[in-house]
Structure 1
Amino acid sequence: MTHLPHLITDLGLILGAAGITTLLFKKLKQPLVLGYIIAGLLVGPHVALFPTIIELENINIWAEIGVIFLLFSLGLEFSFKKLVKVGGASSVMALIEVVVMLLLGYLTGKILGWSTMDSIFLGGILSISSTTIIIRAFDELGVKTQRFAGLVFGVLIVEDLVAILLMVLLSTLAVSQQFAGSEMLAAVLKLAFFLLLWFLGGIFLIPTFLRKASKLMNDETLLIVSLALCLLMVILAAQAGFSPALGAFIMGSILAETTKAEKIEHLVASVKDLFGAIFFVSVGILIDPAMMVTYAGPIALITLVTLVGKAISITGGGLISGQGLKTSIQSGMSVSQIGEFSFIIATLGLTLKVTSDFLYPVAVAVSAVTTFTTPYMIKFSEPLYRLVERLLPAKWQKSLNEYSSGTQIISTTSDWKLVLRSYVLHMVVYCVIIISIILLSAQYLNPFIVENVVNGNWGDVVTTAITFLVMAPFLWALAIYHPQKEAQGRIWANRNYRSLVIVLEFGRVAVAILFIGVLLNQFFSVQLAIVVGLVMVAFLMMFSQKIQQFYIRIENRFVKNLNARELQEAVRMHHTLTPWDVHLTSFEIDPGSAVVGKSLLDLQVREKYGVNVAVIERGDRTITAPTRNELIFPNDKVFVVGEESQTEAFRQFIQTRSVLTSSQEEERESVRLQKLQIRAGSVLLHKSIRNSGVREKTKGLIVGVERKGRRMLNPDSELVFEEGDIVWIVGLPRRIKQLEVASPEPGIPEALA
């Protein structure tokens, strides 16, 4: 009889158990992750009813591969651009939640008498929510399009990045076994340096490589190349002292910016599902039911801390960022669980041998309980909001509403803000690139040249020359390039600020010269370094034009690669209809355009310009074949079909700015939220909102009615006013005052700033 390796036997057992339990959980409409964990529990060494895994060491290797592919797929869905777009509100909410849960987890561990390292890892485990479980719950409940769901998705994106940082920090802490502030800071700076370096290098090289090789790639080769890139970055991250999972995540996020992202994500999905299943089954294998019974009390306490702590921290973060009470409560109730990253952090503690054996099954048990409670927490969020609204004092509600309204403002960006932000960004980017070039030169290039090309001092000279030529474009950009030339020109026009501009310019030049000195100090004495440094500065000045052209080509290629995915989407929406030379062209509507607020019927674009409006994109909403009554909103993206001359005429039309008269400008700026009380004899008494004429008389809108302590937001137009009603109107105070004067007993308006 042929001997079958235990690895194949174990793998068959794992996948068989996983298949049966996932079919059962699919039938019960429960998360598949829980099915995998239960499958692992059944085939693990602690349950004797079923065949048991023989070689756990091999399964752990498969599980590590599963973590790599899980994070690679997560990176493909992540994209650093998404992080930029999530906005400040989601970032504030996520950071507050992580900090609060880290503290609560640590304090809970200490209350339970656990060791310091167990308590720290417990905080890390509790601080990250489950993306998979939340997305599934939103799909089942049909709430993905609601406002709070968008905020939650932003929170999850920020949490993913924070989780990567936590893994690095916890690894550093586990190795050092002490809270060394300098070591932790060094770890964070090292992580930031390598993240930026890998991202810049990856975006510059990989999209270009995929584009050049696209004609040679079918689905099979694209899958192999993608997995090869993932594993190469895993090796690179391990060599740099980071976890392999970090490398997989970074490569996924780089590939997410390419035009092949959707294709790669589709191809990798099966690989991820396979190894992901093995990982979650291995999670279940490590669970000891007896230990879970022993630690039933701590599991219950930690579950309660998770549910309450996450709900309160996210709700508080939402209120701080001005999201309103209802949205904040809904967001907080949606993220009250732990999931995939929590298992990975728990696995990290076991791998590093710094956490106790009980922490892992406790984390899994808490995850299982909070997974089941997630849909019910989301459903209960709205009733909880109504309860809180009833119990909250009116003064507090008024303060919250005013604070929320005050944060929803459009901020303007000053020239100084533009200039300083671009200076800082470019300084950081160029410094990272130049430092990495110097380090690579000293560690790899110089030994290679000295051993294989030229010996002695001449080898140092050749190394320095090559390194300087590679650095030259970035030194030029650091010292001379003006990323915000127009804004800086406007600042320079004000003589009061010229000295500050000069200081900034000299500072940039000084940093560039400092880097030249650092390079020369690697290989030459101080006296010789000064002489060679002057020669290098002269070289930069003499060939400034050539270096500038070369740098612009580098920058253009990077920007093209970075925006390749968006450019491809634009190309898909821009076709030529032969033989008529008709194009589909997109225009973004400026908020100050004369077309804002007008319907397509009013604009008569087909009659006047010969173009048809085919699509209107408004945020996440796409309006295809809009009707003639569709209004144009600020920042809409309008796609029109027409000849080049027609679309150009339409472009000039929409770029026309709306001009307000002085009285219109005054009215626009004086719009306020007013309240008007309905008294006996009021012209509005016993009239419906529709028939009251308030809209026409005040140029305003009734947004709320308060009747005998009951508040009605956005009341129905058929509502009839009664004596004592307090009506809230958004309109012009002058016109509302005229409406009051028409009443024998006028109410007393109160303008709310």
Structure 2
Amino acid sequence: MNHGSLINDLAIVLICAASVSLIFQRIKLPVFLGYLVSGFLISPNLWEESPIHDLATVNELSELGVVFLMFYIGLEFDLRRLRRVMGPAVLAVTLQTVVLLFLGAQIAPLLGWTPVQGIFLGSLLAISSSMVTVAVLRDLGRLDKPHAQLAVGVLILEDILAVTLLVVLSGVAVSGAVSFFAVGKITFFIAVFVVVTYYVGKLAAPHFLNILNRVGSIELITLSVVALMLGVSVIAMELQFSEALGAFLAGSILSQTPLAHRIENATEPLRNIFCAVFFVAIGMLIEPHLLLTNWELILGLSVLVVLIKTITVWVGFFLAGQNPDTSFRAAVAKAQIGEFSFIIAAMGQKTGVTGDGLVAVAVGVSLLSTLMALGLTVESDVIYKKVSTRMPRGLVTLGRFYRNFYDDVHQHIGRNYFLKLAKRPALQILFTFLLLNGIILLAYMISRYISTHDNFASTRIWAVPVTWWAAALLCLPGISSILRNLNVMIMLLTDALFSNSVERQYFHGRLRNIMNAFLLAVLIVLLGGLYLSVTAQYLPGGLALVGFFVLIVVAGVIFWKRIVNIQSRLELLFMESFNKRAETEEPQRRQKTLEEIKRQYPWPVSIRDVLVKANAAACGKRISDLDLRRQTRASIIALGRAGQVQYDPGPGTVIFPLDHLYLFGSEEETRLATELLQSERSEPAEANGTPTFTIETIYLDRDSEIADKTLAGSNLRKVYGVTVLGIQRGQKRITGPLPDEILRPGDVLYVIGNSEGIRRFQEHHHAASESLEIAPTAG
């Protein structure tokens, strides 16, 4: 490579990408399509002498685009948000993936392709574009709508699916065949690697973030985070996994942490640059004659992709109990393919499994399907109304019957005592089981390394047993967790089986304990024997194996209480890593609000945050009723409520308990205003124009207009002046619901507001209510 050629190539790539992307942004097309076109314009397939001197080096740099993109997706990963839409999203993704993989397998023979090429084709058609979908929904102002929440949930699962597909397809590319046993085995190893890395990372993350927080320098934060990202990616590659999986895990470890936004802002410029280089490199692989040769295939696949994704995702959401209207809008929003499709196509070409035509097909289908999905998303309301009015009456009746049947079954399952209580221990058993397998596999790799390298010839006789004995000690807390949770599930099962009062009369006390102990012993023998038979090839032999099991049994019996205590502490540390952000969010929000106000009002005055108490005289009054400025000369310049801040609230804004009022004025003026706002109510509100303040429970039926809408999208506070304090959903209680919480038919809302606003809300939404508490100007 000539001196300066890399700088020359990188300059040409970025200049062309920036120029073409500006045009695409002006005509409101996705920017990544502009990158593809710019790559095509400078590719050696278009010019006899390409301006790019070293295409191989540009391709190497482009792999950093995949790493940064996956790190960003991991950084945005929110397990709590995914959990809210997990059921519908899983069903929708499963239907969509199965149908499109089947489509790829059926089309491949017609094109003269091998079955492996058909798998690559189906895989790249199955993954939608997170970039395009989120950008379109944001531009249309629909990110707070229920269908956007569903679409984002599916996209998160598709990102996880895409990472899994990359690892599986890399194995398929090497072997040249598909083995379901091999796919199951590698999927299990992926799960073990993900759980171990995530668990260890979450335990270490608080210490890592504390160091970064003390450093404070944005340069060192960027350097440390990129080092972590690349380090985990290298570990994944060493274990024969994809670097994309490692980058995703590094991002997910740092997600939902106090420094997540700073990390995202620090790495965003690098991500944008290398993602642009990646898409430009993909564009360089496009051959014009392949696009022209395959135009019929590209057009046909584009139409099929849009139709199949819309129908399968729509049906999946509906079968999971979602509103048909919401399901349709969510389905059309993601009916396209995008960035992961290019990664899969490029991997197939790089490994020689697929030809050059697959990249051209991926680019062509991405362009056409994106344009189709964009048009469908913009006109989704009109299209749904036309489709729904022309739907056969019998199908509509069947849909209503299924929806009622689903609601009944869902409520019955939700009330099931055993399923409700057994869910948590079952998940803990699965999580801990994968952790234990990670420890065993790590010990296996270390002992194998010691046994096969001559450097350890003299120490091999004792190093291998010590490795396995150390692994046994590390396994003890996990084994105690599994045994305790198995015991809990057995107790729940026997309690459910012998729930009859007559049966309980005979089955209690010592008899019940003996029965539970017997069942636990049977499970340990059966499951333990099955596990040992499957994992025999990974376990040691001779003295190491004997010592491994003897140490587990002896230490478990002697130090059982201490082991349980260690496991409890580890679980507490792991959960604290999730709660860390929740603990710091409110103080950070308040500090950010004060800083923003000081930035907007740079005067030598006082800005004071006042918390309105429940018994304050200001509760239930409008800002104009307080007459605060005339009495004290202080002004209310912001209002904080339910985690959100409203700057410059209007005079008609009603003050509720626990509101944060931000006062502007001199020290004396804000002090007087604070005393006035915090003065206690001496007598009930008279009929002087001040609205009566009430809390009521409101039941949402299926005909309510806000059913299946998000809390923010329902605009209850803006339209009616009422605030939702909590939601009762079956046995579940949601206190202080977030703005993106979706309101469901059958929910009981605890709302607070003036009587007139609640009355209008009931009339407009056909909602039945019952007064919970009536206290004039109180909460």
Instruction: State the TM-score, normalizing by the size of structure 1.
Output: 0.74
From 417, 421, 425, give the equivalent of 2:427: 425
**Unaligned 5+ runs, structure 2:** 595-605, 615-639, 643-654, 658-678, 685-692, 697-709, 728-732, 738-745, 748-758, 770-779
Could you tell me which residue of structure 1 aligns to residue 562 of structure 2?
Answer: 546
Could you tell me which residue of structure 2 aligns to residue 385 of structure 1?
Answer: 384
Cα 1:176–1:529 change in 2 (3 A) is: closer
Cα 1:78–1:534 change in 2 (3 A) is: closer
- Partner Cα separation in structure 1 for residue 683 and residue 17 of structure 2: 62
Instruction: Work out the number of aligned pairs and report it.
Output: 634
Shift of 1:460: 5.1
- Partner Cα separation in structure 2 for residue 28 and residue 487 of structure 1: 61
Could you tell me which residue of structure 2 aligns to residue 479 of structure 1?
Answer: 483
8 Å CA contact 1:41, 1:285 repeated in 2: yes
Counterpart code for 2:430 = V
Cα 1:191–1:166 change in 2 (3 A) is: same
Counterpart code for 2:47 = A
Counterpart code for 2:20 = T
* 2:144 counterpart of 1:129: no
Could you tell me which residue of structure 2 aligns to residue 334 of structure 1?
Answer: 333
- Partner Cα separation in structure 1 for residue 399 and residue 65 of structure 2: 46
From 514, 521, 545, give the equivalent of 1:506: 521
Could you tell me which residue of structure 2 aligns to residue 469 of structure 1?
Answer: 473
8 Å CA contact 1:104, 1:309 repeated in 2: no
Could you tell me which residue of structure 2 aligns to residue 564 of structure 1?
Answer: 580
- Partner Cα separation in structure 1 for residue 570 and residue 391 of structure 2: 58
Shift of 1:702: 9.4
Cα 1:484–1:27 change in 2 (3 A) is: same
- Partner Cα separation in structure 2 for residue 122 and residue 87 of structure 1: 27
8 Å CA contact 1:520, 1:533 repeated in 2: no
Q: Secondary structure at the match of 1:560?
A: helix
Shift of 1:55: 1.4
Cα 1:584–1:561 change in 2 (3 A) is: farther
8 Å CA contact 1:574, 1:584 repeated in 2: no
Could you tell me which residue of structure 2 aligns to residue 596 of structure 1?
Answer: none
8 Å CA contact 1:208, 1:561 repeated in 2: no
8 Å CA contact 2:303, 2:369 repeated in 1: no
Counterpart code for 1:557 = L
- Partner Cα separation in structure 2 for residue 541 and residue 636 of structure 1: 42
Cα root mean square deviation, aligned: 4.5
Cα 1:501–1:383 change in 2 (3 A) is: farther
8 Å CA contact 2:74, 2:250 repeated in 1: yes
Shift of 1:236: 0.9
Counterpart code for 1:417 = L
1:105-120 aligned within 5 A: 105-120=104-119
Cα 1:46–1:440 change in 2 (3 A) is: closer
Q: Secondary structure at the match of 1:412?
A: helix
- Partner Cα separation in structure 2 for residue 49 and residue 464 of structure 1: 61
Shift of 1:46: 2.5
Percent sequence identity over aligned pairs: 25
Larger displacement relative to structure 2 (565-574 or 483-492)? 483-492
8 Å CA contact 1:441, 1:463 repeated in 2: yes
8 Å CA contact 2:465, 2:547 repeated in 1: no
- Partner Cα separation in structure 1 for residue 465 and residue 537 of structure 2: 10
> For 1:559-596, what per-residue CA distance to the aligned partner results, in whole angstroms no more than 9, with x for missing partners?
111332233225547999999997999999xxxxxxxx
8 Å CA contact 2:469, 2:547 repeated in 1: no
Could you tell me which residue of structure 2 aligns to residue 653 of structure 1?
Answer: none
Shift of 1:251: 1.3
**Unaligned 5+ runs, structure 1:** 589-598, 640-667, 670-695, 704-713, 716-728, 732-753
- Partner Cα separation in structure 2 for residue 260 and residue 600 of structure 1: 32
Could you tell me which residue of structure 1 aligns to residue 752 of structure 2?
Answer: none
> For 1:490-523, what per-residue CA distance to the aligned partner results, in whole angstroms no more than 9, with x for missing partners?
6698538867743553256558987999999956
Shift of 1:343: 0.6
Cα 1:103–1:520 change in 2 (3 A) is: closer
Counterpart code for 1:295 = N
Cα 1:584–1:98 change in 2 (3 A) is: farther
> For 1:172-197, what per-residue CA distance to the aligned partner results, in whole angstroms no more than 9, with x for missing partners?
22222223222122122222221222
8 Å CA contact 1:149, 1:331 repeated in 2: yes
8 Å CA contact 1:325, 1:400 repeated in 2: no
Q: Secondary structure at the match of 2:112?
A: coil
Larger displacement relative to structure 2 (436-445 or 258-267)? 436-445
From 436, 443, 446, give the equivalent of 2:445: 443
Could you tell me which residue of structure 1 aligns to residue 290 of structure 2?
Answer: 291
8 Å CA contact 1:65, 1:275 repeated in 2: yes
Larger displacement relative to structure 2 (420-429 or 133-142)? 420-429
Could you tell me which residue of structure 2 aligns to residue 228 of structure 1?
Answer: 227
Counterpart code for 1:424 = A
8 Å CA contact 2:127, 2:340 repeated in 1: yes
Counterpart code for 1:544 = W
Shift of 1:627: 8.8
8 Å CA contact 2:468, 2:548 repeated in 1: no
- Partner Cα separation in structure 1 for residue 536 and residue 284 of structure 2: 53
8 Å CA contact 1:480, 1:509 repeated in 2: no
- Partner Cα separation in structure 2 for residue 3 and residue 447 of structure 1: 41
Q: Secondary structure at the match of 2:165?
A: helix
Could you tell me which residue of structure 2 aligns to residue 416 of structure 1?
Answer: 418
> For 1:407-464, what per-residue CA distance to the aligned partner results, in whole angstroms no more than 9, with x for missing partners?
3454525342245434432332333222332333343269769977984655455445
- Partner Cα separation in structure 1 for residue 494 and residue 583 of structure 2: 31
- Partner Cα separation in structure 2 for residue 284 and residue 160 of structure 1: 22
Counterpart code for 1:566 = A
8 Å CA contact 1:422, 1:483 repeated in 2: no
- Partner Cα separation in structure 1 for residue 331 and residue 611 of structure 2: 50
* 2:45 counterpart of 1:46: yes
Counterpart code for 1:428 = L
Cα 1:506–1:287 change in 2 (3 A) is: same
Shift of 1:626: 12
> For 1:600-628, what per-residue CA distance to the aligned partner results, in whole angstroms no more than 9, with x for missing partners?
79xxx975999xx9x99x85579889998
> For 1:92-143, what per-residue CA distance to the aligned partner results, in whole angstroms no more than 9, with x for missing partners?
1122111112212332333333332322211111111111111222223233
Shift of 1:376: 0.9
1:652-667 aligned within 5 A: none
> For 1:512-564, what per-residue CA distance to the aligned partner results, in whole angstroms no more than 9, with x for missing partners?
987999999956648x9668845652332222222222222211111111332
- Partner Cα separation in structure 1 for residue 93 and residue 540 of structure 2: 47
- Partner Cα separation in structure 2 for residue 135 and residue 511 of structure 1: 48
Could you tell me which residue of structure 2 aligns to residue 662 of structure 1?
Answer: none
* 2:12 counterpart of 1:13: yes
Shift of 1:489: 9.8
Could you tell me which residue of structure 2 aligns to residue 268 of structure 1?
Answer: 267
Could you tell me which residue of structure 2 aligns to residue 302 of structure 1?
Answer: 301
Cα 1:332–1:111 change in 2 (3 A) is: farther
- Partner Cα separation in structure 2 for residue 97 and residue 606 of structure 1: 59
Q: Secondary structure at the match of 1:223?
A: helix
8 Å CA contact 1:446, 1:463 repeated in 2: no
- Partner Cα separation in structure 2 for residue 186 and residue 532 of structure 1: 25
8 Å CA contact 2:43, 2:285 repeated in 1: yes
8 Å CA contact 1:600, 1:631 repeated in 2: no
